[in-house]
A and B are shown apart, each in its own frame.
Chain A
Amino acid sequence: GAVVSQHPSRVICKSGTSVKIECRSLDFQATTMFWYRQFPKQSLMLMATSNEGSKATYEQGVEKDKFLINHASLTLSTLTVTSAHPEDSSFYICSANRDISYEQYFGPGTRLTVT
């Protein structure tokens, strides 16, 4: 149990376009989901905390208008990178909290390449 999926696993898009990444908790309800960004050989940097039915909380320095997060249901959160630029190329990872549990379950990540 406690599986988190992400789709797509890899995406290539042209500069100036938008791309959406989905994060789903497959067998549990996630009241809170988190979005991380990871550059090569670096740690995970928290971008935002997403709560079902409310606005996401963004970390300092993360542009909320560029990285749109929607948590429409207890099993789905989406991250939309708007007007993508090459510097947005990175590995994006989501995680989800199981209700009444402190443990986070991580998705397999999405590699975004902006050309």
Chain B
Amino acid sequence: AQTVTQSQPEMSVQEAETVTLSCTYDTSESNYYLFWYKQPPSRQMILVIRQEAYKQQNATENRFSVNFQKAAKSFSLKISDSQLGDTAMYFCAFQFTGNQFYFGTGTSLTVIP
């Protein structure tokens, strides 16, 4: 069975600072994809970043980057230069062939002005 764990229910960060959100997963699959989604108060799910498991290089999207440790089954999200608009729920998600997503329980991030 696939499981995704986010051990930080809530986090806060000062504006312009850096914050890291943790995610671990458990799977016996070798080919899969990992995602971080953001859900602001509007509830619209927004893709932040994705990582293919076969790629060793960590994905980066502007201020967002991941630390993907395949052996440790860890997939953390680093947000640099935090902005007020980053305040949201963040969900880590795992997907393998078959397209089904498995979501973590989420981390509520608050950026403090």
* B52 → A minimal CB distance (Å): 9
Query: Do A49 and B43 touch (CB < 8 A)?
Result: no
B residues engaging A (CB < 8 A)? 33, 37, 42-45, 47, 50, 91, 95, 99-101, 103-106, 108
A contacts, CB < 8 Å to B? 32, 34, 38, 41-44, 46, 49, 91, 93, 95, 97, 102-104, 106, 108-109
Q: Tell whether, in the assembled complex, residue A108 and residue B101 are in contact, meaning their CB atoms are under 8 Å apart.
A: no
With contacts A42-B105, A42-B106, A102-B33 taken as known, whether A32 is within 8 angstroms of B44 at the C-beta atoms is: no
**Number of residue pairs across A and B with beta carbons under 8 Å?**
44
Is there an interface contact between B95 and A102, defined as CB atoms closer than 8 Å?
yes
Say how far A72's CB is from chain B's closest CB, in angstroms: 20
Contact A43 B91 (CB under 8 A): yes
Instruction: Kindly state the separation between the CA atoms of A95 and B99 in the bound complex, as whole angstroms.
Output: 11
CB distance from A69 to the nearest CB of B (A): 15
